[in-house]
Amino acid sequence: MDALQSNFFSMMEELNGKMTAFQNDLQKVNTTPSTVSPYTVATLAADFAVFQSFVTSTFCSFQQQLELIGRQMDHFEMRSRRKILLLHGVRESSGNNTSQDVVKVIGEKLKIPGFSEANISRCHRLGRSFGAKPRPILVKFPDLTLRNSVWFAKTALKDSGITISEFLTKGRHEAFMTARRHFGVKKCWTRDGCVIVAGDDGTKNRVTTITDVNKLINLSASDPVVPQHGSSLTMVAGSSAATKATTAVTARVKRVVRK
């Protein structure tokens, strides 16, 4: 954070200095006859183009640093949620014990042996009650091992009306929903707080932001390219983008048959 503030103040000082110099040159053009003044509209236009380029690059650099900080904060926030799962579709009624509802779902439906309220660090419903739709239940487990046991047993809830999801940050949840809308529900899921998007060729892409999802959408609409260095969009399984590009080029080569 100190480095960001230092860079920001440095950029502001340089920006203010260039603005002051430009204003002085503009004032000289307005007050000095053109026959004796070295400053003309053409020279000012050239200076302004340089100044505009500097301002654009400065704010682009600042935006990149803010995005980096945003990603780091999102990463830390997601780490603080890694022992938490959400239960959806569990009926609620006035005066019911939420912890007992969780124990009933996990112990009876998921067949987790010995699970009791002592295995729950924290448990409560999210949001305000509205209509007949039950609110999701936030469940925090004491350790990752138990959390993962519940997570990987969630397939036993199929056709029960109850589902389990990870407690994603707002940005990751938006990325997940956007990916599902574009690529389909069956090709998108979450794992360890990241959104996994399966490609048509079997690749699995790990994304965390809307920007990452938009990159995948653009890639799916054009020929595959190798991701730029430093991108948070990474291939976690399957063939690489370079292999896909090579295959696509090879497929377009016209075969010449010798007679």
In sequence order, what DSSP letters do the residues of 161-190 get, joined into one string?
A: T-EEEE---HHHHHHHHHHHHHH-GGGEEE
Q: Are 85 and 141 in contact (CB under 8 A)?
A: yes
Helices in the chain by DSSP H: which ranges? 2-31, 41-80, 98-103, 144-152, 170-183, 210-220, 241-252
Strand 122-125 to strand 204-207: parallel, antiparallel, or no bridges (unpaired)? Answer: unpaired
Domain coordinates in residue numbering, the chain: 2-80, 84-166, 170-252
pLDDT at 229: 41
Please give the Cα distance from 88 to 162 (Å, whole number).
Answer: 6
Q: Which residue has the tokens 């589902």?
A: 163
Residue in 115, 182, 122 with CA at minimum distance from that of residue 146: 115
| Model pTM above 0.85 | no
pLDDT at res. 142: 95
At the fourth CATH level, the homologous superfamily of domain 84-166 is L1 transposable element, RRM domain (3.30.70.1820)
| 157/146 Cα distance (integer angstroms) | 17
- pLDDT tens for the chain, 259 residues long, are 556 666 666 777 777 777 777 777 766 766 555 554 555 667 777 777 787 787 778 778 877 888 888 889 999 999 999 999 999 999 887 767 899 999 999 988 998 988 999 999 999 999 887 777 899 999 999 999 999 999 999 999 998 899 999 999 999 999 999 999 999 999 999 999 999 999 888 899 999 999 899 999 988 876 544 444 444 444 444 434 444 444 443 444 444 444 4
Q: What is the DSSP string of 23-61?
A: HHHHHHHHHS-TTT-S--HHHHHHHHHHHHHHHHHHHHH
Q: How many CB atoms lie within 10 A of CB 168?
A: 22
Q: Is 221 helix (H, G, I), strand (E, B) or coil?
A: coil
* pLDDT of amino acid 187: 93
Please tell me the predicted confidence (pLDDT) of residue 3: 64
